[in-house]
Amino acid sequence: MTTPEPSAPSNFIRDIVAQDLASGKRSHVVTRFPPEPNGYLHIGHAKSICLNFGLAIEHRGTCHLRFDDTNPETEDPEYVQAIQDDVRWLGFDWKENKFFASDYFEQLYDYAVTLIQNGKAYVDSSSADDIRRRRGTLTEPGTDSPHRNRSSDENLDLFRRMKAGEFADGTHVLRAKIDMASPNINLRDPVLYRIRKSTHYRTGDAWCLYPSYDYAHPLSDALEGITHSICTLEFEDHRPLYDWVVEQAGTPHRPQQIEFARLNLTNTVMSKRKLLELVEKKLVSGWDDPRLPTIKGLRRRGFTPEAIRAFCEAIGVAKRDATIEMALLEHFIREDLNKRAARVMGVLKPLKVVIENYPEGQAEELDAVNNPEDPGAGSRKVPFSRTVYIEQEDFREVPPPKYFRLSPGKEVRLRYAYIVKCDSVVKDPHTGAIIEVHCTYDPETRSGGPQAGRKVKATIHWVSAKHALDAEVRLYEPLLKTDLSKIPADRDWTLDLNPHSLERLTGCKVEPSLLKGKIGGRYQFERQGYFCVDPDTAKGLLTFNRTVSLRDTWAKIEKARQES
């Protein structure tokens, strides 16, 4: 397990836990992360994971990983595996504390029998429609089911037969007997069990009766000795029911539910339903599409667990609804990668530069620093020759104000190499597009050479044409053009997907040291951003994902100029 950050900011939940320990209300801390295995984890889950595991680490307690698998129709072992991978990748260890709500089905059933015997639950044989109708509305009380006062014996008999498979789906449910007139709708005799004749991925066909969340969750917590059951705000008004279930079941241990605000991020979606929709409609390539805020997506995009954890710590834990700007997440991955990513040169949109006074056929190896932030990272050799590629953006035939890069008659430094001066350009006779730039270099200005100190306005990156490796580079922009909260509920939100969220660049040229780049390897392409080697590289072509761009002052200047 990772060690807790001593500087980690406190929050109201940490305060509650600390107080419970100080007051003697609790002698130890047991939390849990309880995903339902019906989808992949996203960064919102990471917030919960960091909170729950973090609390346990802080107090030398334990944090359970519990699969809340009470709905056989949507759950799948694929998700169980993926969730475990993700939690582990994030850096957390549940040790021997892996549990499944489905392991408690027998005990849950026994508690239900007790509830029935105590007159606290009954079998309702109404249709789903009738139950809904009798539930009342937000402003009107519900009305009792005609089956509400069945005898304990009748209920017991019916419930046993439900378990035995004598009834079809939807014909009977077990309901808590609380109060049909409660202003809290969750207390209007909520459903505890429903019949589902479908195969559960773990219990197979052993059951055709499945407990609801409101029944299974509090009891699972109680059974596991969870002290602090942390969940999101939408369960706040389920808390009286949570407490009721635990109280009526009479479990020796009483867990406490505490709610916090879920994470929202700008320009993306975070609900399982919407993520699933994107995957199923093939609007993205899969759960690990680098545009997705899923853990798998972020991982493929090149995020590190450290950056995600630092982000989760920075956003805090509170009860007010909050939408974090994507810029904050980007800040943390830049901060992390700046310290650890090896620097390389890669040209995304190549423009050929011929250095006319550089001898034909000559090549030399120049020293390049691997990471200025980490002296221990050493250096490498980069080949240089008469023809190099530079970025199309780094040349302007007619430079705008404050443009420091290459233009006719101007000088720039080729990083780690020489100062070159642009003498002429070659244009496509048909389109007029610049296809080649001709320069002369000053041999004295080689890095480390006698005139190396000469100042020029800019240094640009390059790759030797004959030594370059071909690559594909994928650039990502936000998935959504706007925030989900700004899209009307009656509008198909997928219409607001950003059509430019993925840009695939082929014909990119990268320095030869990248030949040994391993899948998942993270690099900084100097002056451009952080990139990682995509698994698609295994298909033969070196492929990179841009994790995040570098901060780009020039882009801001240009944008400001265009807007004024």
Active site residues: 36, 262, 272
Structure tokens at 295: 């853990």
Minimum CB separation of residue 9 from RNA in Å reads 6
Among 405, 410, 474, 546, binds RNA (CB under 7 A): 405
Cβ proximity to RNA: between 123 and 479 the closer is 123
Q: Does 173 bind RNA (CB under 7 A)?
A: yes
Pick between residue 209 and residue 295 the one whose CB is nearest to RNA.
209
Closest to RNA by CB, 141 vs 512, is 141
Token pair of 124 as six digits: 């309702």
Span interacting with RNA, options 198-206, 428-436, 465-473, 544-552, rule CB under 7 A: 544-552
The one among 195, 245, 347, 353 contacting RNA by CB under 7 A: 195
Total residues contacting RNA by CB under 7 A comes to 98
Q: Within positions 290 to 349, which residues make up the interface with RNA, using CB under 7 A?
A: 314-325, 327-328, 330-331, 334-335, 338, 343
> Measured between alpha carbons, how far is 131 from 125 in angstroms, rounded to an integer?
9
**Which residues within the stretch 471-500 sit at the binding site for RNA (CB under 7 A)?**
none
Nearer to RNA, 396 or 438 (CB): 396
Position among 415, 474, 509, 522 found at the interface with RNA (CB under 7 A): 415
Q: 30-33 and 322-324 as β-strands: parallel, antiparallel, unpaired?
A: unpaired
Shortest Cβ distance from residue 404 to RNA (Å)?
4
Q: Which stretch binds RNA (CB under 7 A): 111-119, 201-209, 471-479, 545-553?
A: 545-553
213 makes contact with RNA (CB under 7 A): yes
Q: Which is nearer to RNA, 91 or 136 (CB)?
A: 136
Amino acid, res. 40: Y
Q: CB-hemisphere CA count at 13 Å for 534? A: 23
The contact mask relative to RNA for 246-275 (x = CB under 7 A, - = no) is ---------------x--------------
- Residues contacting residue 454 through CB under 8 Å, at least 6 positions apart: 419, 445
Longest dimension (CA), the chain: 101
- Is residue 351 a contact partner of residue 395, using CB atoms and an 8 Å limit? yes
x/- letters, 442..471, toward RNA (CB under 7 A): ----xxx---x--x--xxxx----------
**Which of these ranges, 201-209, 231-239, 250-258, 473-481, lies near RNA under the rule CB under 7 A?**
231-239
Q: Please say whether the beta carbons of 76 and 39 come within 8 A.
A: no
Map the footprint of RNA across residues 100-139, applying CB under 7 A: 126-128, 131-132, 135-139
Pick the stretch among 19-27, 81-89, 232-240, 347-355 that binds RNA (CB under 7 A): 232-240
- The residue among 119 and 183 lying less far from RNA, judged by its C-beta, is 183
Q: What mask of x and - would describe binding to RNA in positions 370 to 389, judged by CB under 7 A?
A: -xxx----------------
The sign of the CA dihedral 306, 312, 313, 314 is positive
Measured from the CB atom, is 127 or 506 closer to RNA? 127
Residue with the two structure tokens 């390539």: 285
524 binds RNA (CB under 7 A): yes
Residue linked to tokens 């499944």: 100
The residue (of 108 and 295) whose beta carbon lies closer to RNA is: 108
Which lies closer to RNA via its Cβ, residue 27 or residue 553?
553
Q: How far is the CB of 131 from RNA (least distance, A)?
A: 5
Q: Which is nearer to RNA, 291 or 461 (CB)?
A: 461
Q: Report the C-alpha gap between 345 and 17 in whole angstroms.
A: 49
Number of Cβ within a 10 Å radius of residue 187 = 19
**Least separation, in Å, of the C-beta of 561 and RNA?**
11
- Single residue of 1, 8, 9, 95 touching RNA by CB under 7 A: 9
In the set 54, 190, 290, 293, which binds RNA (CB under 7 A)?
190
The single residue among 4, 26, 36, 465 that binds RNA, judged by CB under 7 A, is 36
Cβ burial of 349 (10 Å; 0-12, 13-18, 19+) is middle
In whole angstroms, the minimum distance from the beta carbon of 486 to RNA comes to 11
| Position 70 contacts RNA (CB under 7 A) | yes
Give the CA count within 13 Å in the CB-facing half-sphere of 537: 22
Q: Phi/psi zone of residue 169: left (φ > 0), alpha (ψ -120 to 50 degrees), beta?
A: beta
Query: Phi and psi (nearest 5°) for 32?
Result: -155, 150
Residue 545 CB burial class (10 angstroms; 0-12, 13-18, ≥19): buried
278/502 Cα distance (integer angstroms): 14
For residues 390 and 465, the answer to whether their CB atoms sit within 8 Å is no
Q: How large is the C-alpha radius of gyration of the chain?
A: 31
- The encoded tokens of residue 155 equal 């209920």
Among 180, 191, 425, 465, binds RNA (CB under 7 A): 191
- Least CB distance to RNA at residue 536 (A): 25
Q: Is 556 exposed, middle or buried (0-12, 13-18, 19+ CB in 10 A)?
A: exposed
Burial class (CB in 10 A: 0-12, 13-18, 19+), 164: exposed
- The answer to the question of residue 184 lying near RNA (CB under 7 A) is yes
Report in angstroms how near the CB of residue 196 gets to RNA at its nearest: 7
Residue 467 token pair: 């030594």
173 bridge partner residues = 124, 194
